[in-house]
Amino acid sequence: MEVCSLARNLCFSLFSTHKQFQSGTGSSGKRGMVENLKRYGVISSKRVAQVMEALDRGLFVPVGSSAYVDTPVPIGYNATISAPHMHATCLQLLEDKLHPGMRALDVGSGTGYLTGCFALMVGAEGRVVGVDHIPELVDMSIKNIEKSVAASFLKKGSLSLHVGDGRKGWQEFAPYDAIHVGAAASEIPQPLLDQLKPGGRMVIPLGTYFQELKVIDKNEDGSIKVHTETSVRYVPLTSRVEQLGGF
């Protein structure tokens, strides 16, 4: 859940271009959103483009919001749903760990959009877990997914959403091939490293005021390699009480 994203000039350029889609609904809005992200070079993966077009972002934002504009959208509880280009960026960074049958964890799952994208990518034979510490957002995300093309995964049990402290991960279905963290941590939570499968990848924003999107690869011997993808601006990864109190 980012406040504003990396590459602000790109974000603002896409925002201006996407104004024409503010009133778009269903297939026209999501198709236009994806086409613009492709045009600006944000999406290069055919598979990511297909998933983001299949799962209607309009089902995952509050009524009256500009679902297809490239900007974060407030969802209540001092949280946001990230801008489409950030979702695309994270999906592409994790794509090789989101093949059918693989397992993914989405920390700070919010309204459930990215969690649903993961489910479409790993399929019914995979396992996707979303965790958020705001019960109302978890309830909202379940309802959103039930209205979407990802509903069957929720019904069959290969996709689940839980109330919990995402900093602790979700041990029940670990280890995970892919872990996405949608809020900025001051340091990498050890439970998430422990639950990352050898050969797996985590994408997590790190930092306080100055933040960077880090890509963490766990080698087969358990050692990790970290590289910086870009600068970002996310809400803090914190407790429920601190988040509801405005950090």
Residue with tokens 């979702």: 87
pLDDT surpassing 50 at residue 225: yes
Per residue in 121-137, pLDDT tens? 999 999 999 999 999 99
Angstrom distances, CA of residue 8 to CA of 148, 231, 233: 30, 10, 10
Per residue in 176-203, pLDDT tens? 999 999 999 999 999 999 999 999 999 9
First-last CA distance in the chain? 14
Tell me the average pLDDT across 214-234: 96
In this prediction, residue 26 has a pLDDT band, given cuts at 50, 70 and 90, of low
State residue 27's pLDDT score: 60
* The CATH fold of domain 86-245: Rossmann fold (3.40.50)
Per residue in 69-89, pLDDT tens? 999 999 999 899 999 999 999
Residues designated as active site: 82
Task: State the Cα–Cα distance between residues 200 and 220, nearest whole angstrom.
Answer: 9
Task: State the Cα–Cα distance between residues 171 and 155, nearest whole angstrom.
Answer: 21
In this prediction, residue 16 has a pLDDT band, given cuts at 50, 70 and 90, of very low
What radius of gyration, in Å, describes the C-alpha atoms of the chain? 16
Q: State the DSSP string of 83-138.
A: PHHHHHHHHHHHGGG-STT-EEEEES-TTSHHHHHHHHHH-TTSEEEEEES-HHHH
Q: Residues 162, 174: contact at Cβ < 8 Å?
A: no
Burial of 149 (0-12, 13-18, 19+ CB in 10 A): middle
Percent residues over pLDDT 90 in the chain: 80
| Lowest mean per-residue pLDDT among 29-33, 103-107, 161-165, 188-192 | 29-33
Q: What are the residue ranges spanned by the domains of the chain? A: 86-245
In this prediction, residue 2 has a pLDDT band, given cuts at 50, 70 and 90, of low
Q: Tell me the pLDDT of the chain averaged across its residues.
A: 89
pLDDT surpassing 90 at residue 96: yes
In this prediction, residue 245 has a pLDDT band, given cuts at 50, 70 and 90, of confident
In this prediction, residue 7 has a pLDDT band, given cuts at 50, 70 and 90, of very low
Angstrom distances, CA of residue 47 to CA of 23, 117, 145, 183: 26, 11, 20, 25
As a 3-state breakdown, the chain gives helix, strand, coil percent values, each rounded to 5, of 40, 25, 35
- What is the pTM for the complete model shown? 0.90
| Lowest mean per-residue pLDDT among 26-30, 56-60, 240-244 | 26-30
Measured in whole angstroms, how far is the alpha carbon of residue 4 from the centre of its chain? 14
pLDDT surpassing 90 at residue 247: no
pLDDT surpassing 60 at residue 207: yes
pLDDT surpassing 80 at residue 11: no
H or E element, residue 178:
strand 176-181
Task: State the Cα–Cα distance between residues 202 and 216, nearest whole angstrom.
Answer: 5
Task: State the Cα–Cα distance between residues 196 and 154, nearest whole angstrom.
Answer: 23
H or E element, residue 140:
helix 135-146
Helix (DSSP H) and strand (DSSP E) numbers for the chain: 9, 10
Strands 2-4 and 224-234: what pairing? antiparallel
Tokens of 94: 């994790």
